[in-house]
Amino acid sequence: MFDFAGLRRDMSLTATGGGTGDMDSFDYDIAVIGRGPVGLTMAMSAAQHGMKTAVIEKHRDLYGLPRAGHVDHEIMRLFQKFGIVDDVLADCYPTTEYVWVNAHGETLLEFDWGETSVSGYNSDYMQFQPVFENALGRKLAAAPSNTDFLGWQLVSFEEAGGGVRCTIARTETAPGSHVPVVTDETQTFTARFLVACDGANSSVRQTLGIERDDLGFNEKWLVIDARKKRELAFEFDCGQICDPRRPTTVLPLGKRHRRWEWAVLPGEDPQSLLTEEAAWRLLGELGMGPDDLEIVRQLVYTFEARHAREWRRGPVFLAGDAAHTMPPFMGQGMCSGMRDAVNLAWKMDLVRRGIASDALLDTYEPERSPHTEAWTRISLEAGKVPCTLDPAQAEERDRKFRQGWLPPMPDFPQLRQGVIARNAAGAPLHLAGTLSLQRRVETAGKVLLADTVFGTGFTLLGLGFDPNEILNPQQKEGLERIGGSIVSVGDHGGGSARDAEGDYARWFEEQGICAVLTRPDFYLFGTAQTPADLGGLVDDLLSGLCLTAAAEASAT
What pLDDT does 4 receive? Answer: 28
Report how far apart the first and last C-alpha atoms of the chain are (Å, whole number). 51
Q: Determine the pLDDT at residue 75.
A: 97
Catalogue the E-assigned strands of 464-544.
Answer: 485-489, 498-499, 515-518, 524-528
Fold of 440-554: Glutaredoxin (3.40.30)
> How much is the pLDDT for 556?
57
Is-contact 460 515, C-beta < 8 A? yes
Cα 506 from Cα 503, distance rounded (Å): 5
Domain ranges of the chain: 4-92+124-212+308-377, 440-554
Angle (deg, nearest 10), helices 333-352 and 364-384: 180
Closest by CA to 70, choosing from 18, 129, 20, is 129
Residue 494 confidence (pLDDT): 54
**Residue 169 pLDDT:** 98
- What pLDDT does 551 receive? 64
Q: What pLDDT is attached to residue 95?
A: 85
Q: So what's the pLDDT on residue 15?
A: 32
Per-residue pLDDT at 3: 32
Q: What distances in angstroms separate CA 400 from CA 109, 393, 397, 405, one per listed residue?
A: 12, 11, 5, 5
Q: List the beta strands (DSSP E) in 426-501.
A: 440-443, 446-449, 459-463, 485-489, 498-499
| Residues facing 122 on adjacent strands | 116
Q: Which of 369, 351, 395, 264 is nearest to 306 (CA)?
A: 369
| Options 3.50.50.60, 3.30.1330.60, 3.40.50.1980, 3.40.50.720; CATH of 4-92+124-212+308-377 | 3.50.50.60
What local confidence, expressed as pLDDT, does residue 10 receive?
A: 30
Distance between CA atoms of residues 165 and 51, nearest Å: 17
- Residue ranges of the chain whose pLDDT lies below 50: 1-23
DSSP string of 111-129, one letter each residue: EE--SB-TTSSBSEEE--H
Query: Regarding beta strands 257-263 and 212-228, do their DSSP bridges make them parallel or antiparallel, or are they unpaired?
Result: antiparallel
